[in-house]
Amino acid sequence: MKTKEHKIPEATIKRLSTYVNYLGRLGTDSNPVISSEILGESCQVSPAQIRKDLSYFGEFGVRGVGYDTKKLEAEIKDILGINHNWPTTVVGVGKLGQALLNFDFFRNHGFRIITAFDSDPNKIGTEAANGVTIQSISNIEKCVREEKISIGIITTPVAAAQDVTDKLVDGGIKGILNFAPIKVKVPETVTLRNVSITSELDNLAYLLTQKKR
């Protein structure tokens, strides 16, 4: 796999994620070959767009035959960097945190949740899911450093989000996925992605309102 250009559009990365998710659900053992037409239809993307997305990373597929599904899945996983382990932690074991801890997706994409943190004394020391024991948030910095945790997923209430972010950063975290509906601050060395459920809903309300006006 070679990268032809440095800057790949974010939309391409999103679609690569869609393609590899679809291939995972399809099962590459039972479907050794797939055409860009079928892949495109399943992912709601044009075949030309698929070819363009993949062209950033080299030559894939055989004209008139299609893509070797196993090879395509492996190559996209390599491009996205989800073909190896990302030691991951979930901070905040409320309902959303629990949902994420039980999320099958993680295992298939190399996100290995090795620990979870919460501030509730009734939760600390209990098992959250899949053998993961909940620890006190006061252990975050030490644990992130010792366990070499790369990715922190924040699902705390707003009031705690910046504090646990700082603790993750102090421990040497590399990337944060933040679900708390507040903009947390991180140094430039840390990669931050926000999933704002509130913002998506507000946006939906706005679009529906525009239709009515």
Residues that bind a second copy (CB under 8 A): 3, 10, 13-14, 16-18, 20-21, 25, 43-44, 79-82, 86, 94-96, 98-100, 102-103, 105-106, 109-111, 150-151, 158, 174-175, 177, 181-183, 185, 191, 193, 195-213
Q: How far is the CB of 187 from a second copy (least distance, A)?
A: 13
Pick between residue 170 and residue 202 the one whose CB is nearest to a second copy: 202
Q: What gap in Å lies between CA 109 and CA 131, rounded to an integer?
A: 19
Cα separations in angstroms, 52 against 39, 63, 65, 83, 209: 14, 14, 17, 23, 35
CA atoms within a 13 Å half-sphere pointing along the CA-CB vector of 54: 26
Q: What gap in Å lies between CA 18 and CA 54, rounded to an integer?
A: 13
Q: How far is the CB of 79 from a second copy (least distance, A)?
A: 7
Pick between residue 139 and residue 172 the one whose CB is nearest to a second copy: 172
Q: How far is the CB of 1 from a second copy (least distance, A)?
A: 11
**Tokens 């924040």 appear where?**
154
Give yes or no for a contact between 49 and 19, defined as CB atoms under 8 angstroms apart. no
Pick between residue 139 and residue 196 the one whose CB is nearest to a second copy: 196
Q: How far is the CB of 57 from a second copy (least distance, A)?
A: 12
